[in-house]
Structure 1
């Protein structure tokens, strides 16, 4: 007698009726949706010679297939390994393998598998798989084109976060403004007084050029400040490396201040209100006229809230809308809007760390510059003129440390002007524009 086991259609290859062959009682085994159906065949061994016997075999096989299918889809999943079938009956079938491979398959999955099986015998395409899908979004920030736009965090901030709790509960207030001071420990008292003029709406960042940071912890506010310590560097060196526009994008205004400023007559919140009122994108507080004054433009006026132009010495201003008579502030206590800073940051040179010459070029970042750059007279400061950074220089060739620093400042001013002029000339040439015909200031 010959035992024929009808193969599971999910195999996807070969001929199901030829999968297994055993010597035993004659029956047909059908497996659908993990349910086992056994149909005994009528007839005897040997070839089928009579037509009626052949027809009976065909009909019986078909009925067994249909019955097994409906039995499989009508009852809960049946584990083959839990059926009490004698192991001698299936000596070469690994029931554990069958169960692991097909456990949990639904009727739909079975039908899909049957369709897939038929497709493999033809030329149908490979089934869709999520992990095979590639993402490419050209409008994403450079380098992030392979990411879905919804996950991209292209901007950051200086907000301090906790190590516990929910992220959404970390901040009781989100500061809207940023103020930075480039400091040495010797100016701690002055910086302490200055910081207290800024409310909780301001994030405080200290750039330490002398490497001393832990001593500041005795000040209560210092524990909430951001401290960046790199020795013997200037505020423009720090700004280029730690104030990228995408880092400070959450702040409406960025204060870039020196450490030697007296702030007795200054209130930061009132200053912001005046800046907004007069539409200033780049500004500074007015300077006390009797000390530390270099330019007439930055001199405080007692009869106005804000001024945007001035008169200088004869010959100093080729145009009343150009520096130093207009569109001009100094770099000691500059305040930038978010948009203006994004432009200025790109203009800062990596190697020209003192920033001399920047104040004459700031006008290129706003339009019209003579209306959006100005001095706030109603909130004014005192420039104390402490040459602390000069002491961080190095004595060379018989010169004092501060002399070498000042010499480099002047040299950088010339270098910056030359670079700007060369860059503009190259641009106009590439665009085939004659700058002498331009009416722009």
Structure 2
């Protein structure tokens, strides 16, 4: 007969006991997990939306401390949002909309809006507040070609460290100015075959040049032997000129009597032109008039003039007759500074940037466009003013 295996009571009880312990352990784990999960309710990482810039920043292995600081800031913002939600604030309540902000920035809190900029170079290191030991108060721009390098070098040396120097290069030859010490501190903008007012419209927006009290928009062919920029500014302020230019040497490059230098005074604002040219002594070319070769604008005047510049009319012909619309009274705030005078050398270097067509020299096509733009600008101004008065219900005589 086979042996019969005996079973003790303890053997029968072991299996049910282990099952019970497993069940109890599972229940305890579930309960503990529930309470632990609730304890982390105030910090929900899944709700923190990190911008892509922060994510890429986190991936930099050498920025551990900065990453920690940014994450702390993100979690702090999330905590503040949760606090707001606890006060029963809706998502609509938390939306920002400030109609007085600049257009397009209405959804930003006013404290973060930087509506203006500047042309001050900044360092790539250090504390931003220590970048600028001084801030130039004035801006001078020259539209240049390499052929006038020596002349521009002489001109720039007439401007103190109170001036930011900005060169617009129409011939693309920028690196060839590097041997001039001041050129290393200047700002260079290079776009080939463009004219002065094309650059001004695109790179001298009023919100960019806002830190400067005065903006000089000058040609490259000006002799400055008798000119000092700091003294010029003093006279402009003394006589309340918002738009001005230095007097021109009488024997060189003179087109208008208004811009001719007077040897017996500091400033003049009126003149006598040819008979029949000035029906009103307060209007151009006998008053409220300067040329566009060496114009100087106050910050406020430039804000108006910039808006008057046309995107497609790049030579500026006709602009000198319209500058008066930007200051009031124009015959008192536009003038010529005689005590600081210059020579117009009449170098047709920009004309050589034109293109020869139909047997005509490059400069001939440039000059023809200049005259064409003058007529176009006058027509646009007249049509715009007539449309304005018509909308206001004002009828003008044909002469106006």
TM-score bin, normalised by smaller chain: 0.7 to 0.9
Distance (whole Å) between structure 2 residues aligned to residue 165 and residue 185 of structure 1: 36
| 1:89–1:407 distance in 2 versus 1, CA, 3 Å | closer
Show CA shifts across 1:52-79 (max 9, x none). Answer: xxxxxxxxxxxxxxxxxxxxxxxxxxxx
Distance (whole Å) between structure 2 residues aligned to residue 131 and residue 150 of structure 1: 21
Distance (whole Å) between structure 2 residues aligned to residue 129 and residue 201 of structure 1: 52
Higher relative contact order (Cα pairs below 8 Å, separated by 6+ residues): 2
Distance (whole Å) between structure 2 residues aligned to residue 297 and residue 216 of structure 1: 35
Match of 2:35 in 1: 98
Show CA shifts across 1:107-139 (max 9, x none). Answer: xxxxxxxxxxxxxxxxxx983367961001111
Query: How far did 1:437 drift?
Result: 11
Match of 2:279 in 1: 318
Match of 2:131 in 1: 170
Query: How far did 1:265 drift?
Result: 0.6
Show CA shifts across 1:391-416 (max 9, x none). Answer: 00000011100000000000110111
Match of 1:72 in 2: none
Match of 1:385 in 2: 346
Contiguous gaps of at least 5 residues in structure 2: 1-19, 43-85
| 1:131–1:225 distance in 2 versus 1, CA, 3 Å | farther
Distance (whole Å) between structure 1 residues aligned to residue 255 and residue 186 of structure 2: 32
Which of 125, 142, 145 is equivalent to 2:103?
A: 142
Query: How far did 1:104 drift?
Result: 9.0
Show CA shifts across 1:255-314 (max 9, x none). Answer: 000000000110100100000000000000000001000000000011000000000110
Match of 2:299 in 1: 338
Q: Rg larger in 1 or in 2?
A: 1
1:93 is paired with a residue whose SS is helix
- Kindly report the root-mean-square deviation, in angstroms, between the aligned alpha carbons of the 2 structures: 2.5
Match of 1:329 in 2: 290
2:119 is paired with a residue whose SS is coil
| 1:187–1:366 distance in 2 versus 1, CA, 3 Å | same
Match of 1:273 in 2: 234
Matches within 5 A, 1:28-427: 88=25, 90-91=27-28, 93-103=30-40, 127-128=88-89, 133-427=94-388
Distance (whole Å) between structure 2 residues aligned to residue 256 and residue 387 of structure 1: 18
1:429 is paired with a residue whose SS is helix
Distance (whole Å) between structure 2 residues aligned to residue 224 and residue 180 of structure 1: 14
Contiguous gaps of at least 5 residues in structure 1: 1-23, 25-85, 106-124
Distance (whole Å) between structure 2 residues aligned to residue 274 and residue 325 of structure 1: 21
2:133 is paired with a residue whose SS is coil
Query: How far did 1:370 drift?
Result: 0.2
Distance (whole Å) between structure 2 residues aligned to residue 141 and residue 271 of structure 1: 35
Query: How far did 1:318 drift?
Result: 1.3
| 1:136–1:369 distance in 2 versus 1, CA, 3 Å | same
Query: How far did 1:90 drift?
Result: 2.7
Query: How far did 1:174 drift?
Result: 0.3
Distance (whole Å) between structure 2 residues aligned to residue 189 and residue 437 of structure 1: 50
TM-score (norm 2): 0.81
1:286 is paired with a residue whose SS is strand
Residues matched between the structures, number: 340
